[in-house]
Amino acid sequence: MGERNLICIVDDDPSMTRMLTRVISSHRLEVATFTSAEEFLESGRVQESSCLILDVNLPGMSGIELQQKLHDDPQRVPIIFISGASDDPTRDRTLEKNASAFFKKPFSIDAISKTIQDFHSWKSWSLTGA
């Protein structure tokens, strides 16, 4: 399997998706944005995603519901959760279900940038078997 460089953002806040797109693009990674979990699932891009940045509170299917839906996929997409209205139990529940990270809005651009960069470096290393 070749290296997947697609980071998918699922968030209904246009200013958040613009900011995250700039951050991810600065790492020379491809970005796709979606305003709902349903739009992401229908896009056909799940299997080519190397990481998913996912808002907890979305219209329709929530981010947590999407995480549960993707959990059984053998090629599970790593998830970085973001949320503006979360509490510790929500954060803990997402991390217990194998989320890679959780950021409460507003979060540090440097922190999420480092998480994306660190994750991508690890992913590249693990895919090449180095």
Domains annotated for the chain, with CATH where assigned, are 6-128 (3.40.50.2300)
If you average pLDDT over residues 11-23, what whole number do you get?
A: 94
Is the distance from CB of 119 to CB of 103 less than 8 angstroms? no
Percent of the chain residues topping a pLDDT of 90: 41
DSSP letter string, 45-95: -TTTEEEEEEESS-SSS-HHHHHHHHHT-TTPPPEEEEESS--HHHHHHHH
Cβ atoms of residues 24 and 31 within 8 Å: yes
Whether 2 shows a pLDDT value over 60: the answer reads no
Question: pLDDT tens digits for 110-122?
Answer: 888 888 877 666 5
Average pLDDT, whole number, for the chain?
Answer: 83
Instruction: Report the candidate in 52, 71, 74, 64 with the shortest Cα–Cα distance to residue 1.
Output: 74
Angstrom distance (rounded) from CA 89 to CA 117: 27
Reported as a pLDDT band with limits 50, 70 and 90, residue 86 is low
CA distance 5 to 91: 26
Kindly state the tokens that stand for 114.
């480092």
pLDDT score of 1:
42
pLDDT in tens, 34-78: 999 999 999 999 888 888 999 999 999 999 999 998 887 656 788
Q: Per-residue pLDDT for 128 more than 70?
A: no
